[in-house]
Amino acid sequence: MYFKRNLKKVHFLFSIPLLILNSCSALFKAPTGYQSSTLGEVTPYTKLLKTLPEPKEKAVVAVYKFKDQTGQYKASENISNWSTAIPQGTTSILLKALEDSKWFTTIERENISDLLNERQIIKSTRQEYAALQNQANGQKSSATPLPPLLFAGVIIEGGIISYDTNIMTGGAGARYFGIGASSQYRQDRISVYLRAVSTNNGKILKTIYTSKTILSQSLSGSFFRYVDTERLMEAEIGVTKNEPVHLAVKEAIEKAVFSLVLEGVKDGLWESDESNKKVVDSLIAKQKTEEQINEDFRIDNRLIAPKRGSFGLFGGLMSNTIKGDYPDGKAKIGYNFGMKIYVSNNISLDANVADFYLVNSNIFKRKFNSLDFNVEYLIMPNDNVSPYVYGGVGMIGSSHSFFNNIKTKINAGAGIEYLPMPKFGLRLYGEYDFGMNDDWDNLVSGKRNDNLFRIGLSLNYYFGKPKN
């Protein structure tokens, strides 16, 4: 009976991961069935290109080569991989983007030798046919000439100049009693340069630079548990999603063509139709706004503009623990408030007042006030999250006779600040105050002076213009 009951438990527990796997398979819609071929995927800029207003006159452009200039191969840990990291048909992608914009008439130049060979075959065939007709009819006639090839007023040059991998990586996970889950992500980035060259004088008319982030994500979960002393049950599930490099390249090129059209209109290289002038002007204005925003962004999409005003007020709670002559110092909650002035983007001066108790277990308890002056160095002033360090001097004394019993100290601390919204900062910090006296707890003993350890949480509010 005991064996049967345990066997039922094992069957029940074993059925749990099977149910999870079955449900997750339906959730993730694993592509295990037949999938027919479809038309190619579109990107957000594919739609923007196709909805561009009509030009006054199309420009004839030629693309000789627009290729991968990185020379990079796909990363591989165990074997040599000679497959390129970037698709090699980028010229075709560019030609398709130029065609979708409806602002350019594209002509064949990448395989011009094939075109010339075919035209030569047509010419020779027509001449031979004309000669045979003359022999049969006894009349002299010439072969019909081929129309001349179009020539381009503008040549589009450039290529994919970089493919940076692992510019950002990260993840999170947790495990408890054999049950865990984790998530990881990675960001790569490609960069594209596009330039328009005049065939009349060789002048570079316009150069466009675009970039696109490629995101890879993975989610996984696992179950690991001993059912009994001799039986182990283990289950895993996961899914990985990688953004196709081809679509990233396509979007970056389409963005470059879209920008080339607008920049060309702005510089007078080509013109829009009069009926669409207002629409094009609004697109140019949006393009300018995007350029201004991008000037303040770092490669990891974080804003690098100064975020804190030149003046700030702050207040918060802190725990205070005396390190004195009595043992077993107890942490007690107090509060402080103050102000700070930024003299540069990184450096600020602050003054704050605190009210708190210093306590030793069943021996010493007294209420104190302190006045501190600090110099602070903000390590990453342009980020929403930044560590900082500070140091300075201060005064501490009993709240009942502060001015009659002032004791001096030296402050040193470090912390981290997070800005959840503009002008508001949330700070967590630790501070150690080195006393210049040994009688904070009314006892002079030992070789060291009395000290103070603080852990605090404060809210900062900034106003005024940031220091550049």
According to DSSP, the residues that pair with 359 across neighbouring strands are 330, 365
Structural domain boundaries of the chain? Answer: 2-22+43-73+84-109+152-294, 311-463
Give the C-alpha separation, 313 to 319, whole Å: 20
Q: What is the pLDDT of residue 309?
A: 86
Longest dimension (CA), the chain: 133
CB of 414 closer than 8 Å to CB of 428: no
The two counts, helices (H) then strands (E), for the chain are 6, 16
List the structure tokens of 8: 């039922």
Query: What's the CATH code, domain 2-22+43-73+84-109+152-294?
Result: 3.40.50.10610
Strands 104-108 and 59-63: parallel
Q: What is the mean pLDDT of each run of 10 residues along the chain (468 residues)?
A: 43 45 49 76 87 89 88 71 80 91 90 89 85 71 78 90 82 82 87 92 91 88 81 85 88 92 89 84 85 68 72 94 83 93 91 91 84 93 88 87 78 93 91 88 80 94 80
Query: What's the CATH code, domain 311-463?
Result: 2.40.160.20
Q: What is the pLDDT of residue 128?
A: 82
CB of 203 closer than 8 Å to CB of 267: no
Q: What is the pLDDT of residue 25?
A: 46
Q: What is the pLDDT of residue 15?
A: 46
Q: What is the DSSP string of 195-209?
A: EEEETTT--EEEEEE
From the number of C-beta atoms within 10 Å of its C-beta (0-12, 13-18, 19+), residue 309 rates as: middle
With a CB cutoff of 8 Å and minimum separation 6, the contacts of 467 are 306, 310, 342, 343, 344, 345
Q: What is the pLDDT of residue 235?
A: 86
Give the C-alpha separation, 159 to 89, whole Å: 11
Cα within 13 Å of Cα(391), Cβ side: 3
